[in-house]
Homo-oligomer: A and B are copies of this chain.
Amino acid sequence: MLSNHFQNGMESAKLLWSRLPNSDEGVDGEGAEELGQYKKSDGTTVESLDYEVIENDAYRQEQAKRGKLYTGYSVAMKWFFALLTGIGTGLAAVFINISVENFAGWKYSLTFNIIQKSYLAGFLVYMLINLALVLSSVYIITNFAPAAAGSGIPEIKGYLNGIDTHGILLFRTLIGKIFGSIGSVGGGLALGKEGPLVHTGACIASLLGQGGSTKYHLSSRWLQVFRSERDRRDLVTCGCAAGVAAAFRAPVGGVLFALEEVTSWWRSQLMWRVFFTSAIVAVVVRTAMGWCKSGKCGHFGSGGFIIWDISGGQEDYSFQELLPMAVIGVIGGLLGALFNQLTLYITHWRRNYLHKKGNRVKIIEVCIVSVITSVISFGLPLFRQCTPCPEADSNSGIECPRPPGMYGNYVNFYCSNKKEYNDLATIFFNTQDDAIRNLFSAKTVHEFSAQSLLTFLVMFYSLAVVTFGTAVPAGQFVPGIMIGSTYGRLLGKFVVSFYRKLNIEEGTYALLGAASFLGGSMRMTVSLCVIMVEITNNLKLLPLIMLVLLISKAVGDAFNEGLYEEQARLKGIPLLESRPKYQMRNMTAKEACGNQKVVYFPRVVKVADVLSILRSNNHNGFPVIDHTRSGETLVIGLILRSHLLVILQSKVDFQHSPLPCDSRGGALPIRHNLTEFVKPVSSKGISVHDVHLTPDDLEMYIDLALFLNPSPYVVPEDMSLTKVYNLFRQLGLRHILVVPRASRVIGMITRKDLLIEDNEDSVALELQSTSVRGEEGDRRKFRRNTNAEQPLLDGLLV
């Protein structure tokens, strides 16, 4: 009988666990020694997410019970939310673009109007407008949404790898990111709006996934359809792809970025949904652009969205050009790795010294950077002698000089002669999008002098390094493209003068330079390649971009890690890489556990004991043991700290008897609303100090069999750590139990055992039930019993 009880309890545990939303298991602020090493590096708390996606049959099993119709409904909901994410991210991107374009356009036209009279007054106005915009951005970040600083990509990457940084996906972060980006990009700092858009997309997806923000009373029960962590995480992946698709108008690039750079765990079903989201974004953005062409949104219609069409560029390349292109790749690798290293040092210094002094210092720092940027971008072109316009080529359709304040090449700025242009002003005193368009432009050979390009390269590189890590939303794509295209164009100048007879365009080299710098810094390959092709709209250069990227990534990898990995490490986000470390080959699972003591729970446990165990350590998962009839111990599952805390807080599952609850007969007394077990993303869960119990409560018992995960993954103690790592990483686990070697093998599972035909549902099950005999019989009987209880239990489901 006892053994029956045991089995019965196990079955119910399975039932409940299968319905428990497999919520995050947070390391609480005060007990975070388990992850303590990641707290040292900075002040923020990093929380490890439960990424046990496989355990997450929860939602599915619930669906199974509700029947096929419900399954269809839930699939439809996933697509509907992907649609909403796409539309939301697309609209956010359009809003940011319109705002930035209008602020920047207004700023430049005002400045240009004033410098007709006085350059000093013009400079002051220019500087003050920049300062005001930047100040608004840094004010929002420091006082309202500190998590919105930076690009957000390392944090999102961490989230999808299983680490939840506090505050990263909140509603306030979303708002801070959108308005902060507008200020910082509009204010002319050396940073981009693309990285923040990825973060924006992820925030929108996350908020949709959990049904709005509870704090701001923006949530709706109707929206709360995703009760499983995995579904929410999938939606965030869609959001990332949507962000890239919106930022660069590169839908396929967005899918690949999400695949290659952001997610840690990927399924082909997800790919299709991500693809759909990207397509929706493309349609939304295109619609907005079409609407803007009518002139209703200011400067926007004529070029706000990134698309640096270089279709007028080089059609073909010769083998001689492969050498200079390889050189570009090497330079990109070197400068990219240097960029990563410099930003790492500076960010490290900032975190540990400067930013510890409070928000005031952060604000002052950004203001100083803004003033320096204004001085350099306005001042340097003044020292540059103007160049006479090249002879007019009526075919190319390129005017010279252009009136200042307009898009295009050959800007007339501080020139004595009307037929002259200032090449440094053309790239420096301009929005970054226009500067890139000018650098990429074809049919403008010798527009920029080597001296100007070099000056710009050095200055902008320094500005980008200094700006990185300040307390404003900051993307690295556009600065990277700026830097890369500058040295690319510089090299292109030499190539043009060296191979005189070839039809070489400097703009093509600028594009390759941009690719090489991004490759050398971010170390992406396929996604970056597709993004570059999509933003320049020129497929013919694809093999060249591929080769340049391969070289620059290889060179960069020789020195350090990619920008996002470096920054993630610095921010204390412990990413699990996709391949195990070298020295794991010589270690076993047991060695990895070290001499840590395993804390067990018995199946039925006294509340006072639970509390004292939870207080005495900071483990997040505890094995639960029970005794069989013959008195042997048996590991019956794993219970999570977070679930225990929910049980302790609500008290409804306490019982007076120290016996398993099923021994008293009747239905299993699960009184919990299952949504209680889900912790909202990016917020702290319940801490053990939030639990307040009376002395009476402490004398009661809890039957853990109802709440535990009955089959956690186990490995034998002497398994190679490489194998364990792969298991952990591939399945996105949170806990693995290390157990002794088995004494016997019950069966072997091979491929054929897992090939079950869909249409043989009942037949296969029937077959199964006749083939299982003996000891299995007992078990099945009890399963049937619990099945009989299902309708009752179903009533408890929300």
A residues neighboring B (CB under 8 Å): 10, 14, 18, 34-35, 37, 48, 54-55, 57, 60-61, 64, 162-163, 251-252, 255-256, 259-260, 266-269, 271-272, 275-276, 278-279, 282-283, 286-287, 319, 525-526, 529-530, 533-534, 537, 539-540, 542-543, 546-547, 550, 553, 574, 576, 578-587, 589-596, 598, 600, 619-621, 623, 625, 632-636, 710-711, 713-731, 734-756, 758, 761, 764-765, 768, 771-773, 776
Contact = CB atoms under 8 A, between A and B. Distances in A.
Given A749-B735, A756-B581, A771 B595 contact: yes
A163 B750 CA distance: 12
A contacts with B: majority SS: helix
Contacts of A737: 742, 745, 747-749
Contacts of A162: 751
B578 A267 contact: yes
B282 A546 contact: yes
B579 A269 contact: yes
B718 A592 contact: no
A746 B275 contact: no
A539 B533 contact: yes
B711 A714 contact: no
Given A530-B530, A713-B727, A720 B57 contact: yes
A503 to B, nearest CB: 14
Nearest to A783: B586
B742 A723 contact: no
Q: Which 7 residue pairs are nearest across A and B when measured between Cβ atoms?
A: A593-B747, A739-B742, A279-B546, A282-B543, A711-B719, A738-B747, A736-B749
Contact of A590 (B585, B592, B746): B746
Copies of chain A in the complex: 2
Given A271-B525, A542-B251, A543-B279, A598 B740 contact: no
A268 B276 CA distance: 23
A251 B764 CA distance: 44
B714 A598 contact: no
A754 B728 contact: yes
Contact of A267 (B529, B579, B772): B579
A752 B591 CA distance: 13
A568 to B, nearest CB: 12
A633 B744 CA distance: 7
Interface centre among A267, A635, A773 (most CB of B within 10 A): A635
Contacts of A271: 260, 525-526
Given A711-B716, A717-B746, A745-B737, A591 B768 contact: yes
Contacts of A581: 756, 758
A202 to B, nearest CB: 20
Contacts of A34: 750, 752
A588 B730 CA distance: 21
Nearest to A311: B311
A748 B530 CA distance: 42
A232 B617 CA distance: 47
Nearest to A53: B726
A37 B752 contact: yes
Given A267-B578, A547-B279, A581-B756, A750 B771 contact: no
A163 to B, nearest CB: 8
Contacts of A589: 747, 749
A417 to B, nearest CB: 39
Contacts of A776: 590-591
A73 B594 CA distance: 34
30 contacts: A34-B750, A37-B752, A57-B585, A252-B530, A259-B259, A267-B578, A269-B579, A272-B525, A282-B542, A534-B539, A537-B540, A539-B539, A581-B758, A587-B768, A589-B747, A590-B776, A593-B747, A594-B747, A594-B768, A596-B748, A598-B748, A600-B745, A620-B750, A711-B719, A714-B742, A715-B749, A736-B750, A738-B746, A739-B742, A740-B744
